[in-house]
Structure formats: structure tokens, C-alpha cells
């Protein structure tokens, strides 16, 4: 999809990857609805983008961790710009560690990392199927193709996010829906940097040891090129595809390697 003149919604847009995606899509000529729990952060982004092209960005305070939050966001975007051409379900949380993770944390992780994608798609699809086109993108993670040492909730929710994106593409791809799924490894954002704190399962040190940490703007460049090409998987870290290939070709060897990596991290 050529984003020039298109209407795009990005969630988790106040910082990190979502902010960079919004800036990149805007630069490509899109009008952007930037949504986040952090309303002030989205307003700062909107001010920045509207200074370049007046009326081209709406900052919206939104909680996409509920169905109603997604409905309200879709209505706000439609009221501002008319149709939505592309919706990027990018907001995510990196909470939780092992089986002792509190129940409310499991719920929050599933609501934001998985159900938000389902709720958004549920309320976007009727219009898109009627129009015969629409583009749904989601941010999962390399953890959705591989695993996240130190965090069961993150591993499970990100696998589920990839599974949902696949299902959407399989089910509606022949009716005009395009779907892409972003699966990055380390990206220099608050989420990665906060994962360095004690109690976060040591997940950030695993990510850092697994490969290069990209800047959000570098990820956004790759995302835009994949959206232009309308292909499914967005893998800004090529090494993820190598690890994924090893997993698929010999699951038990891959699991043994992951155990060794975990022992190394825990022993640090
Ligand atoms: N940073 C990494 O290394 C990395 C790697 C793989 C995948 N990801 C994924 O990338 C996505 C973006 O994360 P990031 O790294 O930019 O982190 P980030 O913490 O900088 O950004 C996440 C944004 O989501 C927002 N958000 C959280 N809950 C929300 C809710 N209920 N409603 C609306 N907004 C909400 C936050 O306010 C924040 O601005 C996430 O889905 C994350 O899981 C990140």
C-alpha cells in the first residue's frame, strides 16, 4: 500500500516504536491518528506533525486494553478523517515473569498484547469487507516466533498475536484484507530499557545478547517497505529468521540451546 493520502491509526504512539511508525507514515504522506494511554505524549506528537502539515495528525488518549477502548478509538478516527485505511495495533506491555505472575498481570498482558488486536479487527472488518479493502498490522515480537526467556506471559501473548494475524490473513486475505505482523527483537525503547530492572526476568539482557538492538526509526523504515510490498512478516532483525529456521528444522536442538542460554543468563 502506498500510504500517501491514506488514513492510518497507530496505537502505542506516544513513544518507542509506535511514535517512530507514526512519524514515518506521516512522512510518507499519511494522515495519522496517534493513540496511547499517554494522551499528553500523543498530543506532543500531533503538534510536531501538524507543524509540518496542518491537520494531518490527531493525538488521542486511548486505552486499547478493553473492547470499548478500541471502539472509541475507531469512532474517533472515523470522526476525524472519515475512513481508516490502515490500523496498526502496536501498543504492548512486557510484564510478568514465571508461573507466580499475579493473575491480574496475566489478564492485562493478554488484553493489551492479544485481545486488543482481536477487538480492533472485529470493529474494523465490517467496513473493510464492505469496501473490499483494508490493512491490519500488528506488533508481535521475535518472542512470538521463538520465545522470551524469563517471561511466560510475554512468550504466550506474542505467540498468540502472531497466530491471530495469520488467522486474519488466511480467513479474509481473499476478500481484500491485507495483514502484516511486526516481529522485532531488541529495539531501543522504554520497554527494552525497563526490562533491565530487577524482577523483569532478565529479559532485556537476553534480548541484548541475542543480536543487534535497533533504533525505532530503523524499524519504522523496514515496516514501511513491507507495507509498500504488502507482505505478511516484518522481521527487521534478519538473525531472527535464522533462529526461527533452526527452531523449525530441529525443535529439540533449539530447545536445548535455549536452556543453555537461559542457564547462562540466570548465572550472570
Ligand atoms: N522494544 C523492544 O525490544 C520490542 C521488541 C519486540 C516487540 N516489541 C513490541 O513493540 C511494541 C511497542 O513497544 P515499544 O518497545 O515501543 O515500547 P514502549 O513502552 O516505548 O511503547 C509502548 C506504548 O504502548 C502504550 N500502551 C501500553 N498500554 C496501553 C494501552 N492499554 N492503551 C494504549 N496504549 C498503551 C504505552 O503507553 C507506550 O507508549 C509492543 O507491542 C512491544 O511488545 C518491542
* Every domain of the chain and the residues it spans: 7-266
Domain made up of 7-266: CATH architecture: 3-Layer(aba) Sandwich (3.40)
Would you call 154 a catalytic residue per the annotation? yes
Helix (H, G, I), strand (E, B) or coil at 161: helix
Task: Please report the pLDDT score of residue 76 as a whole number.
Answer: 98
Decide: pTM greater than 0.95: yes
The ligand 1 site (C-beta within 6 Å) comprises 11-12, 14-18, 36-38, 62-65, 90-94, 112, 139, 141, 184, 186-187, 189-192, 207
Q: What is the mean pLDDT of each run of 10 residues along the chain (268 residues)?
A: 98 98 98 98 98 98 98 98 97 96 98 98 98 98 96 97 98 98 96 67 69 95 98 97 97 97 79
Q: How far does the centroid of ligand 1 lie from the alpha carbon of residue 201, in Å? A: 17
Which one from 135, 154, 172, 243 is the annotated catalytic residue?
154
Q: What is the pLDDT of residue 196?
A: 55
Probe target for ligand 1 pocket from 92, 157, 182, 190, with the most ligand atoms within 8 Å of CB: 92
Edge to edge, what strands does the sheet with 233-234 contain?
57-61, 31-36, 7-11, 86-89, 134-139, 177-182, 233-234
pLDDT score at 9? 98
- Residue 59, helix vs strand vs coil: strand
CB contact burial 133-163 (16+ within 10 A = b; e otherwise): ebbbbbbbbbbbbbbbbbbbbbbbbbbbbbe
Amino acid at each position: 500500500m502506498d500510504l500517501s493520502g491514506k488514513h492510518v491509526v497507530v496505537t502505542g504512539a506516544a513513544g518507542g516504536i509506535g511514535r517512530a511508525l507514526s512519524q514515518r507514515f506521516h512522512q510518507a504522506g499519511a494522515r495519522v491518528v496517534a493513540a496511547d494511554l499517554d494522551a499528553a505524549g500523543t498530543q506532543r506528537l500531533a503538534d510536531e506533525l501538524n507543524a509540518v502539515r496542518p491537520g494531518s495528525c490527531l493525538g488521542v488518549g486511548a486505552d486499547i486494553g478493553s473492547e470499548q477502548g478500541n471502539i472509541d478509538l475507531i469512532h474517533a478516527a472515523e470522526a476525524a478523517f472519515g475512513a481508516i485505511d490502515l490500523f496498526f495495533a502496536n501498543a504492548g506491555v512486557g510484564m510478568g515473569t514465571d508461573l507466580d505472575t499475579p493473575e491480574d498481570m496475566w489478564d492485562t498482558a493478554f488484553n493489551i498484547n492479544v485481545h486488543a488486536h482481536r477487538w480492533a479487527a472485529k470493529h474494523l472488518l465490517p467496513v473493510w469487507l464492505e469496501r473490499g479493502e483494508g490493512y491490519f498490522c500488528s506488533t508481535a515480537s521475535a518472542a512470538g516466533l521463538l520465545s522470551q526467556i524469563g517471561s511466560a506471559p510475554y512468550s504466550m501473548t506474542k505467540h498468540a498475536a502472531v497466530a491471530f494475524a495469520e488467522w486474519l490473513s488466511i480467513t479474509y486475505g481473499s476478500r481484500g484484507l491485507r495483514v502484516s505482523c511486526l516481529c522485532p527483537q531488541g529495539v531501543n525503547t522504554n520497554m527494552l530499557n525497563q526490562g533491565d530492572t530487577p524482577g523483569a526476568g532478565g529479559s532485556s539482557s537476553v534480548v541484548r545478547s541475542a543480536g543487534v538492538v535497533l533504533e525505532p526509526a530503523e524499524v519504522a523504515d523496514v515496516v514501511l517497505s513491507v507495507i509498500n510490498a504488502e507482505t505478511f512478516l516484518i522481521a527487521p532483525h534478519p538473525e531472527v529468521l535464522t533462529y526461527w529456521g533452526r527452531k523449525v528444522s530441529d525443535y529439540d536442538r533449539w530447545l536445548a540451546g535455549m536452556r543453555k542460554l537461559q542457564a547462562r543468563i540466570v548465572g550472570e
